[in-house]
A and B are shown apart, each in its own frame.
Chain A
Amino acid sequence: MGILDSKVPSGPLADKWTKHKNDINLVNPANKRNIDIIVVGTGLAGGSAAATLAELGYNVKTFCYQDSPRRAHSIAAQGGINAAKNYQGDGDSNYRLFYDTIKGGDYRSREANVYRLAEVSGNIIDQCVAQGVPFAREYGGLLDNRSFGGVLVSRTFYAKGQTGQQLLLGAYAAMNRQINRGKITPFNRHEMMDLVLVNGKARGIIARDLVTGAIERHSAHAVVLATGGYGNVFYLSTNAMGSNVMAAWRAHRRGAFFANPCFTQIHPTCIPVSGDHQSKLTLMSESLRNDGRIWVPKRLEDAQAIREGKIKPTQLNAEDRDYFLERRYPAFGNLVPRDVASRAAKERCDAGFGVNKTGEAVYLDFASAITRYGKEQAMITGIKNPDEDTIRKLGEQVVEAKYGNLFQMYEKIVDENPYKTPMKIYPAVHYTMGGLWVDYNLQTTIPGCYAAGEANFSDHGANRLGASALMQGLADGYFVLPYTIGDYLSEDIRTGAIPTDAAEFEAAEKDVKQRIDRLMSGSGTHSVDYYHKKLGKIMWNKCGMSRNANDLKEAIDEISTLRADFWQHVRIPGSADSKNQELEKAGRVADFLELGELFAKDALTRNESCGGHFREEYQTPEGEALRDDKNFKFVSAWEYKGEPKDAILHKEDLIYENIELKTRSYK
């Protein structure tokens, strides 16, 4: 096992978490009042952790770069949250959710963590309903469910197309209750610039007040990083503009291992890129694949005619369309997992069947669903022999009730009515399964430094299933960390407040200030965005949906060169001691320029295809991912040693005691 100890408890899979909770140490309520915890990031994982830890009695400080915790990017999650409630009676269970998640992740996640996730999933829904989260309901007043990719049951709970928003506002409300009691002190518009270690333990952070530019020291007995993913290393992604890897990367530089950086999720249904000015990409929820059918024309000449605007997609008959997911994967059809759907769309577009000007788009068509729902509504409302217009109108009403906000968003961006003409979609970077390596307790390789939600690596393997990110964020924050962190803090009941005048804080603050000075003193040739866009292009072209050894080697060299150029020639106007958005961006891009190289190095090391990591050299004759369990059934955990090229690989072997490793098939 080497230096990576996953600390998975012994005993049968289904009993591990209960047994662990019974075995770990507790901190008594009077002592909790003397213990401080810093939570960085206030999305679902950070917000729920902060609220729960404060409620238990710890003194919590939260940090977010946004002006309010409510704006963390969890807010943008659309489709839903999974839970093994089996309310639909369709055969769901904790085991099945566990199994689907492991299989969906292409057998590259840790069994015990994933089982615990499934085990607490039901509690999340109970908790959120108690908090007043307005989930969608059926006419009988009970909760409604829908289906997501890669599963054969309906276990996804949702609040229109704004599930992330409603869950985050629930966690934010729980935080507000604790802020009102004085148990949480929020530091909004603050960014973590470094992690401070005292005697090898995480004991605080250095933060920058983004309004005044002041560099501040904050101490605590433990630090939780819930700072999301690093998808913005690609420049264009569905992440928020400010989403960044800085906190996680700073921790990595201080000794936290970074796991599986190359495991990135490219989401199949996003609005295609429209031009060079593009600043971000917009997701169209996976829930749309419940009712939308994905297709391209069967004949190349039809695809060309569509691209040239000579014919409209609605003019093509069913037999002239290639519903390629239904054709290739009859068992799961349009609801195959995201990695599979994205690659299939890319394959068709690369073969010349793309349907927009750039040739990088496929159709997501709701015509069949509108007709189906329209007929059903006509039956329910007692309309006999309805004409086509009536069916269409009734069907559109049903679709609007389900996905109205998504259709509106699409229409505003693309200027086309998706009720009348099929949506055009293309894959885009959406989520990162990789992140800080954590053990079963969610502790990184730095004692006292924890990572939760998308910031850690543990639950989704090489591909995340839809509606599982919200589940993991809240599971980590509400139900896992509050227990495991107490075990660690039980040794700190006599420590007393951590002084911020210690030499370690002094040194870390000095490092931060020097780094800012270096950024401000670039020769001033190019803007931060210039470098970020260049990095994004390298990442997308050479480390994107499909990768090969040659491209990856080139990417490593190109990123390394770009990074050196950035530090010499970046131009940051204004001053460091005031509000300065260019300086904020520069710090984040500087870290992406290091992470990007490690990402490519990780992808180059993993000589197999699994989940979202598709290496062209390793595929079946049908073009499916070819996994190599003999040589790569491990987590890559990288240790920082200066330049990314010097990073040292540690391997955590993944042990499957409860699931048989199989070739993943959705056919």
Chain B
Amino acid sequence: MKLNLKIWRQKDAKSKGQMVDYPISGIEGDMSFLEMMDVLNEELITKGEEPVEFDHDCREGICGSCSLQINGEPHGPDRRITTCQLHMRKFKDGDTIVIEPFRATAFPVIKDLIVDRSAFDRIQQAGGFISVNTSGNTVDANAIPINKHIADEAMDSATCIGCGACVAACKNASAMLFTSAKVSQFALLPQGQVEAIDRVHHMVRQMDLEGFGNCTNTGACEVECPKGISLENIARMNREFFKANLKG
């Protein structure tokens, strides 16, 4: 199929960017979206132009590197997948596809479609852990029985890949879904109780410091999340935050 791509090009963080048109042909339905980008880049290199840079690595939907805003949606039109799992069979011959980086004040553009998501790391560093030493000198793993349903729910929260689609989808560029997924995982598990108060305080404070917006419950984040992280996590984080404020 033939497509008309409109792609955001930006030399570096300091330069001003712009949309550039790239017509492309010979695209097959079996190609992934990123393989289509590979074809484009190969053409650009042959012509002596600079290829379009974008983050990608595992190309199987788990590392969370890829981060394209496609036709206004993070990770494009399909649901419950990342950009690297999007296949060209979702598009039609002659389509125009607009490709931009994830947009948020807290995610500054580094080059072309690559953004800086280190704010997410700093939120995790503020409290996204359980303070146990890694010596292995702990109790036997089966000494802590955990209700299967609760363990499964914690697992559902823990599947967040930290891609940032939730932020890109949100009109306020809020990082509540991302932050709450980690707060929830530990709030659900007995191992997380000991530091629950500090954790939610520290992580929420860091989230605010990074310049992410507030949550106004539009639910766009849940719709666009490639891993289906539920809005319930945000509700749980709000409860945890409220409880923490009461306790101290």
Q: Nearest CB to that of A160 among chain B residues?
A: B155
Q: Nearest CB to that of B44 among chain A residues?
A: A573
A residues contacting B by CB (< 8 A) are 48, 51-52, 55, 66-71, 73, 75-76, 85, 87, 120, 123-132, 134-143, 159-160, 162, 165-166, 169, 172-174, 176-177, 179-180, 186, 188, 211, 238, 240-242, 274-275, 277-280, 282-283, 408-409, 412-413, 415, 478-479, 524, 527, 529, 571, 573-574, 578-579, 581-582
Q: Let me know if B189 and A211 touch, CB within 8 A.
A: no
The 8 Å CB contact of B42, one of A139, A165, A527, is A527
The 8 Å CB contact of A52, one of B30, B35, B134, is B134
B1 at the interface (CB under 8 A from A): no
Q: Which residues of B contact A142 (CB under 8 A)?
A: 142, 145
Bound complex: CA A241 to CA B32 (Å)? 14
Q: What range describes how many residues of B lie at the interface? A: 35 or more
Q: Which residues of B contact A282 (CB under 8 A)?
A: 59-60
Q: Let me know if B59 and A240 touch, CB within 8 A.
A: yes
Q: Which residues of A contact B145 (CB under 8 A)?
A: 140-142
Given contacts A169-B158, A279-B35, A573-B45, contact A51 B62 (CB under 8 A): no
Bound complex: CA A120 to CA B134 (Å)? 13
B245 at the interface (CB under 8 A from A): no
Q: Let me know if B118 and A132 touch, CB within 8 A.
A: no
Q: Let me know if B140 and A126 touch, CB within 8 A.
A: yes
B120 at the interface (CB under 8 A from A): yes
B81 at the interface (CB under 8 A from A): yes
Q: Let me know if B134 and A176 touch, CB within 8 A.
A: no
Q: Which residues of B contact A123 (CB under 8 A)?
A: 136
Question: Which 5 A-B residue pairs are closest in the complex by CB-CB distance?
Answer: A141-B145, A123-B136, A173-B129, A134-B155, A129-B141
Q: Which residues of A contact B246 (CB under 8 A)?
A: none
Q: Which residues of A contact B56 (CB under 8 A)?
A: 241
Q: Let me know if B63 and A137 touch, CB within 8 A.
A: no
Task: Identify which of residues 124-145 in chain B touch chain A, using a CB-to-CB cut-off of 8 Å.
Answer: 124-136, 138-142, 144-145
Q: A139-B148, A176-B128 are in contact. List 20 more A-B contacts (CB 8 A).
A: A75-B58, A85-B141, A120-B136, A126-B138, A131-B191, A137-B146, A140-B145, A143-B141, A172-B124, A173-B128, A176-B125, A180-B125, A242-B57, A275-B28, A275-B31, A277-B28, A277-B31, A571-B45, A579-B12, A579-B53
Instruction: Give the number of A-B contacts (CB < 8 Å).
Output: 215
B residues contacting A by CB (< 8 A) are 11-12, 28, 30-32, 34-35, 38-39, 42, 44-46, 48-51, 53, 55-65, 78, 80-81, 85, 87, 89, 110-111, 114, 116-118, 120-121, 124-136, 138-142, 144-148, 151-152, 154-155, 158-159, 161-162, 185-186, 189, 191-192
Q: Let me know if B151 and A136 touch, CB within 8 A.
A: yes
The 8 Å CB contact of B191, one of A75, A87, A132, A412, is A132
- Give 17 CB contacts A-B under 8 Å: A48-B134, A55-B134, A71-B64, A73-B58, A85-B141, A127-B134, A127-B135, A130-B138, A132-B191, A135-B151, A137-B151, A139-B148, A140-B145, A143-B142, A188-B121, A242-B57, A579-B12
Q: Which residues of A contact B118 (CB under 8 A)?
A: 67-68, 188
Q: Let me know if A141 and B148 touch, CB within 8 A.
A: yes
